[in-house]
Amino acid sequence: SPVAETFRVIQGAMSEEYVRTTRGVFQFELSGDEGGTWYIDLKTKGGSTGFSKPPVTADVVMSMPSVNFVKMFT
């Protein structure tokens, strides 16, 4: 699935340096196929992604169709 694959690639690209320099948590409220709440945590040690609310409060919340999310990251 495109959204899950996009998050898998993002997770694989994470590093302590990205976390240290970004220090932000991004929550995505996606509609359409694979819609729901997803997140990228670049604040917590090691960073993480997932299909749920983030483990800490999001600094940025974006709402968009899932197809636009995939386009944004490809």
Question: Which domains are seen in the chain, by residue range?
Answer: 2-72 (3.30.1050.10)
Question: b/e per residue, 41-64, with b = 16+ CB within 10 A?
Answer: bbbeeebbbeeeebeeebeeeeee
Collapsing DSSP to helix, strand or coil, 65 comes out as strand
52-68: per-residue pLDDT in tens? 999 999 999 999 999 99
Average pLDDT, the chain: 96
User: What does the alpha-carbon distance between residue 2 and residue 68 come to, in Å, rounded to a whole number?
Assistant: 11
pLDDT of residue 49: 97
Instruction: Specify the residue for token string 């409220």.
Output: 29
32-54: per-residue pLDDT in tens? 999 999 999 999 999 999 999 99
Quick one: tokens of 71?
């386009």
User: What does the alpha-carbon distance between residue 31 and residue 13 come to, in Å, rounded to a whole number?
Assistant: 25
pTM exceeding the 0.85 threshold for the entire prediction? yes
